[in-house]
Amino acid sequence: MASQRKTPEPLFKPLPSGNRGISPERVAHHQRMRLMGAMLHACDQHGFATVTVSELARLASVSNRDFYELFSSKEACFLETHDFIVAEGTARVAAAFRAQDDWRDGLRDGFDAFFTVVQEEPTAAHLVIVDALTAGPQARAHRRRAMAAFERMLREGLEQAGRPSRVDDVTVGAIIAGTRRVVYRHLRDGTIDELRQAGGPIMELVLLLWEAAGRRPLPQPGETAAPVAPVSTPPADAPARERILAAVVELAVADGYAGLSLPAIAKTARCSIQTFYKHFATKEAAFGEALSRAHDAALAAVGPTMVSDAPWPQRVAEAVTAFFEDCAQHPGECELLLRSEIGGPPGTLDRTDAAFAAFVALFVPPPSSPHGGVPELLVECLGGGLMHILQERLALTGPAGLPAIADQVTYLVVVPVLGVEGLAALSV
């Protein structure tokens, strides 16, 4: 018999009871802050997905009724906690950034301050950078606003350079997203002490892309293809397993993992719930197989292009094009792979992390090549930046718009490896 979670002991004491001259506004503020502290603690203990309102109320020494007078849901409490942490951290980074007169020193100190905040407040950083990925579709806008604050600082620093900056907003967003990805990996791996050394390499990447943009700016997007109609539902005589997996993809893309239910899957797949259980033990298992198939298909589309005899930059360009064309032809699987707000059951982050690592590794030049020996931190940063670009483009145009940015993505993969002097080898 599975053990039940123990009833949490209160973390915080309530204000003294009775009329002691404490205003209702102060009481509400005190309760709100205690509930936010409870959210931070609960996410640290077992993740956001299994947090309950009753747990938060007990930890904060308030009633469930008090909770709902302050927050409409546990998601609302999480998002306010997220934004509070972001505001505190952003203020510290901004202070370090603006304390220097030289723009390079300011950016370097800003990156160092960011990594220091993560090291000093790992639980808060985990909520913002890791737990927010499982907090539902509303969290995406909050994550995007948090990134935008750091993008503005980076842009401000680059604008202070001695010549007009030609670093475009796509590159700025990729740098900040890549930095966030580096922190994500260290938080997940429990290796945040290694972040002490991360500021230097990130700043070198910024300077390299700044110099490269001055010589050869990022290519502009090409024409966006006409939207491709979603792949049709498998015919009624298709194997039941295929219909079920197609239904899982369709429903997850439409409403996220939280919107999956056995009745909805059975109805969309045109089968009975009994038939579903002949193929999958749970909806989690069906979702996992659908996600694995999408990962495998993406790797299959890219893999052959990266083992040809062509020069490495050309192989990258061909691989990017092949992946984007596959995305346009299989829009449901593409969105399942790339849209972070779809969510998933426990273990999904582990699965997607492994797929991310396998996919990014395809674009890394082998150690034996003239471009080999790329540092792991740089690989992680570039991979995170590229994932951000794909997600932003996907939100704007859908999968059909991805092929139009193939040259941009190729540039951002190749230039940090080739260096400024290697720009002549870039054909895009």
The confidence band for 2, taking pLDDT boundaries of 50, 70 and 90, is very low
Contact 319, 363 (CB under 8 A): yes
Residues composing the chain: 428
Q: Are residues 314 and 415 in the same domain?
A: yes
Confirm whether 244 is domain-assigned. Answer: no
The confidence band for 229, taking pLDDT boundaries of 50, 70 and 90, is low
- 149 burial class (0-12, 13-18, 19+ CB within 10 angstroms)? middle
Taking phi over 0 as left and psi of -120 to 50 as alpha, with beta for the rest, 272 belongs to beta
Better pLDDT: 358 or 70: 70
Q: Are residues 159 and 92 in the same domain?
A: yes
Q: Are residues 87 and 109 in the same domain?
A: yes
Sign of the Cα torsion 23, 29, 35, 40 reads negative
pLDDT per residue as tens digits for the range 289-335: 999 999 999 999 998 988 888 888 888 999 999 999 999 989 999 99
pLDDT on residue 290? 95
Confirm whether 363 is domain-assigned. Answer: yes
Q: With H, G, I as helix, E, B as strand and everything else as coil, classify residue 135.
A: coil
Q: Which of 54, 51, 29, 53 is nearest to 42 (CA)?
A: 51
pLDDT per residue as tens digits for the range 25-83: 888 899 999 999 999 999 999 999 899 999 999 999 999 999 999 999 999 999 999 99
Of 184, 215, 246, which residue is a domain's last? 215
Confirm whether 348 is domain-assigned. Answer: yes
The confidence band for 8, taking pLDDT boundaries of 50, 70 and 90, is low
Q: Are residues 112 and 28 in the same domain?
A: no
Confirm whether 285 is domain-assigned. Answer: no
Confirm whether 175 is domain-assigned. Answer: yes
Q: Which pair of structure tokens corresponds to residue 336?
A: 């399942």
Q: Are residues 64 and 122 in the same domain?
A: no
Whether 346 has a pLDDT exceeding 90, the answer reads: no
Q: Are residues 59 and 93 in the same domain?
A: no
pLDDT on residue 298? 92
Better pLDDT: 308 or 272: 272
Whether 204 has a pLDDT exceeding 70, the answer reads: yes
CB atoms < 10 A from the CB of 282, how many?
12
Of 11-25, 117-131, 132-146, 248-262, the poorest mean pLDDT is in: 11-25
pLDDT, mean of residues 204-232 = 81
- Residue in this structure with the two tokens 């059909």, named with its chain if needed: 400
CATH at residue 44: 1.10.10
Query: How far apart are the C-alpha atoms of 134 and 219, rounded to whole Å?
Result: 34
135 CB contacts (<8 Å, ≥6 apart)?
48, 75, 78, 79, 82
Q: Are residues 85 and 207 in the same domain?
A: yes
Q: Are residues 315 and 419 in the same domain?
A: yes
The confidence band for 200, taking pLDDT boundaries of 50, 70 and 90, is very high
Count how many domains the chain has. Answer: 3
Query: How far apart are the C-alpha atoms of 267 and 254, rounded to whole Å?
Result: 15
Range of the domain at 47: 24-71
Q: Are residues 147 and 163 in the same domain?
A: yes
Confirm whether 281 is domain-assigned. Answer: no
Q: Are residues 61 and 144 in the same domain?
A: no
Whether 226 has a pLDDT exceeding 90, the answer reads: no
Query: How far apart are the C-alpha atoms of 315 and 331, rounded to whole Å?
Result: 24
CA angle 288, 283, 249 (to 5 degrees): 60
pLDDT on residue 420? 81
Q: Are residues 60 and 86 in the same domain?
A: no
Listed ranges 6-20, 111-125, 304-318; the one with the highest mean pLDDT: 111-125
The confidence band for 1, taking pLDDT boundaries of 50, 70 and 90, is very low
* 332 alpha-carbon distance from chain centroid: 19
Confirm whether 237 is domain-assigned. Answer: no
Of 154, 186, 215, which residue is a domain's last? 215
- 187 burial class (0-12, 13-18, 19+ CB within 10 angstroms)? buried
Q: Are residues 60 and 105 in the same domain?
A: no
- Long-range contacts, 414-418 (Cβ 8 Å, 24+): 414/312, 414/313, 414/316, 414/317, 415/208, 415/209, 415/212, 416/205, 416/208, 416/209, 416/378, 416/382, 417/365, 417/371, 417/374, 418/313, 418/371
Listed ranges 155-164, 207-216, 357-366, 371-380; the one with the highest mean pLDDT: 207-216
pLDDT on residue 231? 54
CATH at residue 205: 1.10.357.10
Q: Which of 361, 383, 374 is nearest to 181 (CA)?
A: 383
Mean pLDDT across the chain, nearest whole number?
89
Whether 3 has a pLDDT exceeding 80, the answer reads: no
**Largest interatomic CA distance in the chain:** 80
Whether 279 has a pLDDT exceeding 70, the answer reads: yes
Which segments of 64-219 does DSSP mark as H helices, in order?
A: 64-70, 74-98, 103-120, 122-129, 138-159, 169-189, 199-215
pLDDT on residue 161? 83
Tell me if the pTM is above 0.85: yes
- 163 burial class (0-12, 13-18, 19+ CB within 10 angstroms)? exposed
Whether 187 has a pLDDT exceeding 50, the answer reads: yes
- Residue in this structure with the two tokens 């599975």, named with its chain if needed: 2
pLDDT per residue as tens digits for the range 382-414: 999 999 999 999 999 999 999 999 999 999 999
Query: How far apart are the C-alpha atoms of 99 and 106, rounded to whole Å?
Result: 7
Query: How far apart are the C-alpha atoms of 292 and 275, rounded to whole Å?
Result: 21
Confirm whether 148 is domain-assigned. Answer: yes
